[in-house]
Structure 1
Amino acid sequence: MIDSRFKMPVPRLRTIAKLCAVGAAALTLNSCAYDGVKVIVINMFQGEAQPFIDRYDLKEKVYISGLSPDAPNMLCNYDGICQVTTGMGYANAASTISALLYRSKLDLSHTYFVIAGIAGIDPRQGTVGSAAWARYAVDYGLSHEIDAREMPAGWPYGYFGIGTKGPGEKPPMDYRTEVFQLNETLLQKAYTLSKSATLEDSPEAIAFRKNYAYAPANQPPAVIQCDVASADTWWAGRNLGQRARDWVKTMTDNKGNYCTTAQEDNATLEVLTRGARAGKVDFSRVALLRAGSDFDRPYDGQSASDGLINYAQQGGFVPATHNLVNAAKPLLDDIVQHWPQWKQGVPAN
């Protein structure tokens, strides 16, 4: 907690902030200027946030009006690394990031953002504990839906694009939030820095993977690059999983490669996109990382309902939350250690 009586050497203090006189126990950004935020980690709930808080000693509380009532402070350290917790789902994510951009007096024009959350993962692309950097985020929920029991014969599932006549057709981008593409240079930099990172595992995850007869589902976790489908609905199963694969391909003109599920990403990215148009942030400085905590579809012989309802038995939650920071750390550290270069943009080498 930043207190007006707190004493610290001036050079170190300036690495995170230029503080005005503060009467409250926590620094209130609506009443004074604040700068020096090099990177903000965006998590969705406490289980994702805690490994970052612990690893980076994020003890300084920065109150921003409008953040999640469950996490009303941005947490920072004196290296310029900060963290916010949005709350889960589209509404919470959009509300929190909007408050971060518009309710504070932060200068975030040079700040990097790393969205880091757990996810369901396609067993054909990764395994529980794997951490995936995304190129595309595709909205899984913006679509027509017909109950599968009433869909036309021959349809693979009841979902299809709004304004189209059936599955496989690409809809017009009327919502303008259907697909986001992240900066390729930053993506490759993040992947290159982290691809050899040591990832954690669990005995439960090791045992559960053996139910899958193919790789990479039955292999140890790794840092990978593939894309995310986001929606408020927490779906699961082979048919809906295939729909995610198909939908990402359709919406990215066959350039995307689906692997992870999420409940917030397109909402968060839309706020950051609008913030970029308003001159608040630089969207080219946004990276998206999801770590598999459970498989998005069951193994052969398992029902979809069992796979979803008993997802905790897969043993992926702890490795996934820990591997978010394990995979993000090389990027975060490089940004801080080489800030003069990163402040100008993603370094070429």
Structure 2
Amino acid sequence: MTGVRRAVAAVLMLAGGMIPAAAVAATPAALACVPGKACATPLPVRVVVVTMFEIGADSGDAPGEFQLWKERRRLTMRIPFPQGYHDLYYNPDSQILSVVTGVGSIKSATAIMALGLDQRLDLSRAYWLVAGIAGIDPKDASIGSAAWARYLVDGDLAHEIDAREMPKDWKTGYFPRGRRGPNDPAPPPTPSGEVFELNAGLRDWAYALTRDMTLPDDPGIAAERRRYTGFPNAQRAPFVLKGDQLAAMTFWHGALLSGWANDWTRYWTKGQGEYVTSAMEETGTIQAIDYLTRIGRADRDRVMVLRAGSNYDQPPPGVTAADNLLHENEGYSGMSAALESLYLVGSKVVDTLLADWPRYERDTPK
């Protein structure tokens, strides 16, 4: 056995046990490269599917965000990723790669930076699809609905005074850096991580491809929708829409905080954005891709963010925020529908990119 094949065999043994000799012979040479070191034979990547968590095993049980992509896209090639949260998986035929970053903007930023600097992978022409579940504003959409974002807003970079100590004329004790309080009419300062704008042309292209798709529905989420009287969009069957994403490390819940999220998004997007989904990772992910773009390791104009509602961000009428949060923590009412929506909607875009790859490798759609 040659030195390269011995190295490949060693990597494959670490990745999950003995592999037949024929499979070793067919394995890309990149797997013989050591994580974090130079690699003369990087794997070409056309699409990176970014997920944030998995539940239990990677396949064969209740799915998290990663499992459907792994099983249905035949992401069978395991790539050890000790510098990240979870090993990578790749399909050498489609050249789709999936990463599980871990939950929260700290983990997402570090995982994406580690991925982008990994010389075993050529990500220079890759498209990035963030596909994750989210809280969803019932004023805009229903659970199971999937929203394509243009603006990614950070909900953590701020000033805060405890509400019990704030001036009586303040609506909230939480306000942007660079302002003297929530009532300060000063325009937004130059953003420093508070907001990121994605390629609007690519977002609109993805939305146009998917807006008429029929998304999964079931009696369980239909019953949950009916509780949201007075919210017509919350009572609709799941649908595809355009809507922006607010990322914060705190899992918040309630109508008052949803009002804050809407105000915060409008402020940082200068009235151009519309808060629809809440999650924890996007600003970390895009900040890392921004930095990687500067050195040619990624292309931030090829980033798409798709979030599907697994739960409403506030309770239905007649239920307290505390009671509803505890209820949702027992199991998100729209989890299964959201995961299916993410896969179906995201796959429509992925399939379109791959079907005409010579064109889309060269030119980003718009």
Percent of matched pairs sharing the same residue: 36
In the TM superposition, 1:134-145 aligns within 5 A as: 134-145=149-160
- 2:189 aligned residue: 172
- Check whether the contact 1:44–1:88 (CA below 8 A) recurs between aligned residues: yes
Alignment partner for residue 44 of structure 2, among 22, 36, 44? 36
Asked whether 1:234 is paired with 2:234, we answer no
- Check whether the contact 1:276–1:283 (CA below 8 A) recurs between aligned residues: yes
- Check whether the contact 1:56–1:77 (CA below 8 A) recurs between aligned residues: no
- 1:327 aligned residue: 345
Report the RMSD for the aligned CA atoms in angstroms. Answer: 2.3
Letter in 1 for 2:117: Y
Alignment partner for residue 45 of structure 1, among 50, 53, 60? 53
The separation in 1 between residues aligned to 2:308 and 2:205, in whole angstroms, is 18
> What's the offset of the Cα at 1:155?
2.2
- 1:184 aligned residue: 200
What are the ranges of 5 or more consecutive residues in structure 2 without an aligned counterpart? 1-11, 55-63
TM-score under structure 1 normalisation? 0.90
> 1:65-121 deviations in whole A, cap 9, x for unaligned?
4121xx223333521111100000011111111110113332211000001111000
- 1:297 aligned residue: 314
SS in 2 for 1:83: strand
- 2:355 aligned residue: 337
Asked whether 1:161 is paired with 2:169, we answer no
The separation in 2 between residues aligned to 1:21 and 1:265, in whole angstroms, is 29
The separation in 2 between residues aligned to 1:229 and 1:66, in whole angstroms, is 27
The separation in 1 between residues aligned to 2:30 and 2:275, in whole angstroms, is 49
The separation in 1 between residues aligned to 2:175 and 2:20, in whole angstroms, is 56
The separation in 1 between residues aligned to 2:354 and 2:237, in whole angstroms, is 30
- 1:113 aligned residue: 128
- Check whether the contact 1:289–1:324 (CA below 8 A) recurs between aligned residues: yes
What are the ranges of 5 or more consecutive residues in structure 1 without an aligned counterpart? none
- Check whether the contact 1:148–1:157 (CA below 8 A) recurs between aligned residues: yes
The separation in 1 between residues aligned to 2:361 and 2:162, in whole angstroms, is 50
- Check whether the contact 2:88–2:97 (CA below 8 A) recurs between aligned residues: no
Instruction: Count residues in correspondence.
Output: 336
> What's the offset of the Cα at 1:29?
7.9
- Check whether the contact 2:153–2:196 (CA below 8 A) recurs between aligned residues: yes
- Check whether the contact 1:137–1:265 (CA below 8 A) recurs between aligned residues: yes
Alignment partner for residue 310 of structure 1, among 327, 339, 343? 327
Structure 1 residues 146 and 339, CA, compared in 2 at 3 Å: closer, same or farther?
Answer: same
Alignment partner for residue 20 of structure 1, among 17, 29, 47? 29
Structure 1 residues 186 and 34, CA, compared in 2 at 3 Å: closer, same or farther?
Answer: same
Asked whether 1:252 is paired with 2:269, we answer yes
- 2:214 aligned residue: 198
> What's the offset of the Cα at 1:173?
3.4
- 2:57 aligned residue: none
Structure 1 residues 236 and 63, CA, compared in 2 at 3 Å: closer, same or farther?
Answer: same
- Check whether the contact 2:31–2:79 (CA below 8 A) recurs between aligned residues: no
- 2:7 aligned residue: none
